[in-house]
Amino acid sequence: MKKVYLVCGTGIATSAILRVKIEEYLDDHNVQATVRQLRVAELNPGFIDADVIVSTTAIPPEIQEKAPVVDGIPLITGIGEQEALQKVLEILRAKS
């Protein structure tokens, strides 16, 4: 199963908003994925097994080397939301 990490500063509020939008979009497009909410401080380069990371905060370069990172801010503001969701979908489909 595909894995999506949702990352924000605290791993609670903002990533919860991302989770609702990502899960709904993936469900609408028949893509099954495990979705995890995390704080950026919880990311350890040795244990990254995500297919994609959606983040509203800066991700360290050593994490970016492990999985593609999609900017999650558009999912909060609504500006560019569809493009961000489509990018997540494309990344997950390419990993088939």
Q: pLDDT tens-digit profile of 15-70?
A: 899 999 999 999 999 999 999 999 999 999 999 999 999 999 999 999 999 999 99
Element housing 18 (H / E): helix 13-28
Q: Model's pTM, two decimal places?
A: 0.95
CATH topology of domain 2-94: Rossmann fold (3.40.50)
Q: Which of 13, 94, 5, 3 is nearest to 55 (CA)?
A: 5
| Residue 70 β-bridge partners | 54
Task: Check: CB of residue 9 under 8 Å from CB of residue 15.
Answer: no
Task: Check: CB of residue 70 under 8 Å from CB of residue 39.
Answer: no
Give me the residue spans of the domains in the chain: 2-94
